[in-house]
Amino acid sequence: MSVAKPVIACLIVIGNEVLSGRTQDANLQYLAKALNVVGIRLMEARVIPDVEETIVATLNECRARFDYVFTTGGIGPTHDDITAACVAKAFGVRLVRHPEAEARLLRHYKPEDVNPQRLRMADTPEGAELVDNPVSSAPGFRIGNVIVLAGVPRIMQAMFEGYRHKLTGGAPMLSRTVVSLVPEGKMAAKAAAAQAAHPATEIGSYPFVRDGKLGVSLVVRGTDAVQLAAATEAIKDAIRSEGGEPVEEG
């Protein structure tokens, strides 16, 4: 059996509005799930402000550490939209008007609505490949292993769905969830033993309160279905041995 190196990604959420609490980010959760489907594992996310120095430094750190880096936010027409310029700076290339992106914007807007600020959305780092935006035309782009997406969730999702076939993933992470009303503190020793006995899987323990009752979701993750099944059975046995009733959730 070959053990492939996992393909890992980082998400950089660019935007003061998330850090001020004005906006609840919805892109992390969407991308986490969507990337997993194509066998890419989100290993880190960062939320950073609209500050050039921070964006450039974060991009350069993350693109060296991860197979893919996704960014969301900061690609609109206003003065606080500085992502494209920062990506160019991080890669040490010029920011240039992309002819195809410009053509798309000119088709999208009525002639009287075209202005220099809107056309600025056609500026991309030299050598970048466009990422289509079927919602509002202004494209994202990819350069190296960095993929730049919109911040508005509906647009980001449409961009990602149109681009995902170009991503190269590994084995998708599979997961199984076992729920019981045995409190996690009572289960902890046996969950740890199950984890130790099944090191190819990751067992997470997440307490919850449902209908006034305290319970725990034990989530077993791994790329090998057989090993996953063995770890899941170990967890179910552990729950039963504490007098609980394991219920597997879909």
- The footprint of its own copies (CB under 8 A) covers 16-26, 28-33, 36, 42-50, 54, 76-81, 109, 113, 115-118, 152, 173, 175, 183-189, 191-192, 195, 202-207, 219, 221
CA distance 228 to 202: 9
Q: Kindly tell me which of 134 and 204 has the beta carbon lying closer to its own copies.
A: 204
User: Do residues 39 and 169 make contact, with C-beta atoms less than 8 angstroms apart?
Assistant: yes
CB of residue 247 vs its own copies: minimum separation in angstroms? 17
Q: Which is nearer to its own copies, 76 or 125 (CB)?
A: 76
Residue 165 near residue 29, CB atoms below 8 Å: no
Cβ-contact 233, 201 below 8 angstroms: no
Shortest Å, Cβ 238 to its own copies: 12
How many angstroms separate the CA atoms of 33 and 169, rounded?
A: 13
Nearer to its own copies, 21 or 92 (CB): 21
CB of 127 to its own copies, least distance (A): 26
By the 8 A CB rule, do 120 and 137 touch? Answer: no
- 3-state percent helix, strand, coil for the chain, nearest multiple of 5: 40, 25, 30
- What gap in Å lies between CA 55 and CA 78, rounded to an integer? 17
Minimum distance from CB of 143 to its own copies (Å)? 24
Nearest distance, CB of residue 216 and its own copies, angstroms: 9
Interhelix angle 153-163/27-37, rounded to 10 degrees, is: 10
Residue 203 pairs in a beta bridge with 220
- CB nearer its own copies, residue 189 or residue 225: 189
Phi, psi of 107 (to 5 degrees): -75, -35
Spatial distance between the Cα atoms of 104 and 136, rounded to a whole number of angstroms: 10
Is 126 or 210 the residue whose CB approaches its own copies more closely? 210
Q: Least distance (Å) from its own copies to the CB of residue 154? A: 9
Among residues 126 and 185, whose Cβ is nearest to its own copies?
Answer: 185
